[in-house]
Chain A
Amino acid sequence: MRREIPLIITISVGFLAILSFFSPPFEPLGEDFTLFFDIIAVFAFFLGGGNLMRVHIDKLIKRKKDWGFSIVTLVGFLVMLVAGLGKIGAESITSDITREGLFSTLYYNVHLPLGSTMYALLAFFVASASYRAFRAKNREATVLLIAAFIILLGSTPIGQMLTNWMPEGMSILEIPNLAVWIMSSPNLAGQRAIMIGIGLGVVSMSLRLILGIERTYLGKDSG
């Protein structure tokens, strides 16, 4: 029964979801299922917080490898939790903690700058990844390199300056126009092909789940 009950739930909800798509009277069911999911998600926050505490306290007590980081994690978690729930530094209990108090101070002065820093690292990672990807090791990589070079140049004033001498009849060969063509024709065609594949994959995957063919998520290999 441990596997049959989840399977029955999956199959019934799957068929109801299909019904809600095709039958107008059942349309609100889709919204209801989203609501059920949101309700479950609220309880899951306790689950996540509890797991975080358990894993790091255990690491700390047993002095496992890199236990020092667990202190930072636990202190950060508890300080934000207490600052938020206790509304520390806020004028009154009805105050909006996203605007005043310790919680908002920590959020805007510690969390946001740290997040922005992580995001900013992307610029350097893009540079290193591009360097690796654009090495003309084989024919495909060479095509990639040329296409990327045209798009990069086409997005800058230099691209325009380099080829604006071309006569009207050959304007398609101007670098900015070439860049637009690459993005709107071969690139878009490739993306749409992938999207059609994804659409079919989603239908196929959903059918496998609804029909009970795919049961790996229940922890059993075969049907």
Chain B
Amino acid sequence: MRSIITFVAVLSLCVGATALAQTDSVLVDSAGVTPVQPPPAPVTNLQAVDTDNDHGHSITLTWDLSVDDGKGQNNVLSYQIFRWFPSLMDQVDSLRGERSNARSTMRAFRSDIPRAEHALNELREDPGKLESIRFEVSIPADDSAFVLTTDYAITALQDTIAVMTARLPEIKDGLEPLQIRFEEALAQLPEAHNQYPNDGDWEYLGAVVAGNTSYENSGSKDFTAPDFFPDYTDLYYRVEAVSADTTLRSEAILVGPVHSSGQWFHTGKIPVLIFVLVFFVLTVLFVQVAKKGKELYVRPLAGIEAVDDAIGRATEMGRPILYVLGLGSADMVATIASFTILGRVAKKVAEYQTPIIVPCYDPIVMAVAQEVVKSSYLDAGRPDDYDEDAVHFVTNLQFAYVAAVNGTMLRELPATNIYMGKFFAESLLLAETGALAGSIQIAGTDEIAQIPFFIVACDYTLIGEELYAASAYLGREPILLGSLKAQDWAKAAIVIIAIVGMLTTAFGWPGFAEAFHVSG
């Protein structure tokens, strides 16, 4: 029993001591009855700047954490952000809403009037069509026993049409003055913002949880949008640290005026610009060198050198050449590269008088390919040999296209199959069928996942960039070879930069690698 009493006494002492310790960090109200938590301390060093490289779409606020955030009283739950808006903003919002409503009502009436007229005519011609007319007739909402009859529907439709027809010109006439008022109000916005702190109020924008030190207030540059973010206008912000009890908030810290404005250049892309300029200069330089007649050595590509042999083989065997442009659309670089190779191949084919088959997956690609082949026949001096059906559309369904091209391979038994462009799951289906048909196969794609399939199933494969270089190799023209030489030099520069970046980072100087960081 004594031990129990001792335990209770010790426990009471501990509880009392803890309560005393807590009273150190709370205030006691005037009556000395209810303990009151003090508000959290405000943020410090609040700054507002126009966000970089977003063309004036936002303002970024940054601050140092309240001393009570995660330490001190540890009672900051979030930071609430407010922006000052002039009262003119309410008028702008109201006019924007009116303008938007008027436009949507006009659109709805223009669509509903002919539909209602059509329904009315249907009912007049055949009253039995009451259930099938495609226009909702308004019925009394408060009459549960109401039964819709044809006569009622006809009268209701006539009334609806009359109301809509009468209102339409009214709305249309009212729209222009509304637009003028709206634009006038918008034009006054910068001046209204300059009146801070008069004739306006703070509006809550949002909150970030404790521990965060930034907030981005973004909006649209479309003046008709509700979140329109004006350029070159004085903007003011307020940040408050708030505790779990939202009535307990810190002193508001203000910042402003701050302006948002568009930027003409994205500074986060400077490394890309430098690289493009260097590459541009290298290309021009090597093209000039090539123009002066200097012999430029470029690494031979087996796949490209095989093209001439493959065309010769087809000629000897009296069989056609199948050229597949892949599944890419005409705006893809791989497809554009494929057009250039097709042009070279078609010219050779025209010279050797060998048939060519180009089944296309995309109608636009087909149209371009037709022009390329036709022009090549013209360049070869054999325009009459051009067969209009040589380049034809098959389908734009992936596996249906594979079925059709595989069928062509097995029926026509082309001597050579050339696959150049963008390929996906169909690459192996096509290349294996070609191998089974005994054709010499040359492939090229920039789809990394498909390169292994082509390598195992084709005789020659152009890997990645070799596809883009193929046209220049085939033509052997100095100007084109000059651009390839520039590409090789740029590649060497990238390898050197990558190695230097690796070494400097490994030895604790990441500044070199970070200098190449690209944002946005």
As a 0/1 sequence over residues 47 to 62 of chain A, the CB contacts with chain B under 8 angstroms (1 = contact) are 1110110010011000
21 of the cross-chain contacts (CB-CB < 8 Å) are A22-B265, A22-B269, A24-B55, A24-B263, A24-B265, A41-B363, A65-B411, A111-B400, A122-B425, A125-B433, A191-B448, A197-B465, A200-B491, A201-B469, A204-B483, A206-B333, A214-B340, A214-B480, A217-B336, A221-B343, A222-B477
Interface centre among B375, B425, B465 (most CB of A within 10 A): B465
Residues on B with C-beta less than 8 A from A217 are 336, 339-340, 343, 368, 372
The answer to whether the Cβ of A194 comes within 8 Å of any Cβ in the partner chain is: yes
As a 0/1 sequence over residues 184 to 223 of chain A, the CB contacts with chain B under 8 angstroms (1 = contact) are 0000000100111110111111111101011011111111
Q: Are B262 and A25 in contact (CB under 8 A)?
A: yes
Q: Are B379 and A219 in contact (CB under 8 A)?
A: yes
The answer to whether the Cβ of A85 comes within 8 Å of any Cβ in the partner chain is: no
CB distance from B182 to the nearest CB of A (A): 23
Total interface residues on A, CB under 8 Å, equals: 66
The answer to whether the Cβ of A108 comes within 8 Å of any Cβ in the partner chain is: no
A48 to B374, CA, bound (A): 18
Residues on B with C-beta less than 8 A from A198 are 446, 448, 464-465
The answer to whether the Cβ of A69 comes within 8 Å of any Cβ in the partner chain is: yes
Q: From B452, which residue of chain A is reached at the shortest CB distance?
A: A133
CB distance from A4 to the nearest CB of B (A): 14
CB distance from A19 to the nearest CB of B (A): 10
The answer to whether the Cβ of A5 comes within 8 Å of any Cβ in the partner chain is: no
Residues on A with C-beta less than 8 A from B463 are 194, 197
A205 to B333, CA, bound (A): 8
Interface centre among A111, A114, A209, A216 (most CB of B within 10 A): A216
Interface residues of B (CB under 8 A from A): 53-55, 134, 262-266, 269, 272-273, 276, 279-280, 283, 287, 329, 331, 333, 336-337, 339-340, 343-344, 347, 362-364, 366-368, 371-372, 374-376, 378-379, 389, 392-400, 402-403, 407, 411, 425, 428-429, 431-433, 435, 446, 448, 451, 453, 455-457, 463-469, 471-472, 475, 477, 479-480, 483-484, 486-487, 490-491, 494
Interface centre among A24, A41, A66 (most CB of B within 10 A): A24
Q: Are A211 and B477 in contact (CB under 8 A)?
A: no
Contact of B54 (CB < 8 Å), options: A24, A69, A118: A24
Contact of B266 (CB < 8 Å), options: A23, A40, A59, A65: A23
Contact of B279 (CB < 8 Å), options: A24, A115, A133, A207: A207
Interface of B is mostly: helix
A122 to B425, CA, bound (A): 8
A47 to B347, CA, bound (A): 25
Q: Are B487 and A200 in contact (CB under 8 A)?
A: yes
Residues on B with C-beta less than 8 A from A40 are 364
Q: Are A132 and B456 in contact (CB under 8 A)?
A: yes
Contact of A122 (CB < 8 Å), options: B262, B372, B428: B428
Residues on B with C-beta less than 8 A from A66 are 411
The answer to whether the Cβ of A1 comes within 8 Å of any Cβ in the partner chain is: no
Interface residues of A (CB under 8 A from B): 18, 21-25, 27, 37, 40-41, 44-45, 47-49, 51-52, 55, 58-59, 65-66, 69, 94, 111, 114-116, 118-119, 121-122, 125-126, 128-130, 132-133, 191, 194-198, 200-209, 211, 213-214, 216-223
CB distance from B470 to the nearest CB of A (A): 10
A202 to B336, CA, bound (A): 10
Contact of B468 (CB < 8 Å), options: A47, A116, A202, A221: A202
Q: Are B55 and A129 in contact (CB under 8 A)?
A: no
Contact of B491 (CB < 8 Å), options: A44, A133, A197, A220: A197
Residues on B with C-beta less than 8 A from A69 are 407
A187 to B469, CA, bound (A): 24
Residues on A with C-beta less than 8 A from B55 are 24-25, 27
Contact of B375 (CB < 8 Å), options: A49, A119, A200, A219: A219
User: Closest 5 interchain pairs by CB?
Assistant: A219-B375, A201-B465, A48-B363, A24-B55, A133-B456
Q: Are A219 and B429 in contact (CB under 8 A)?
A: no
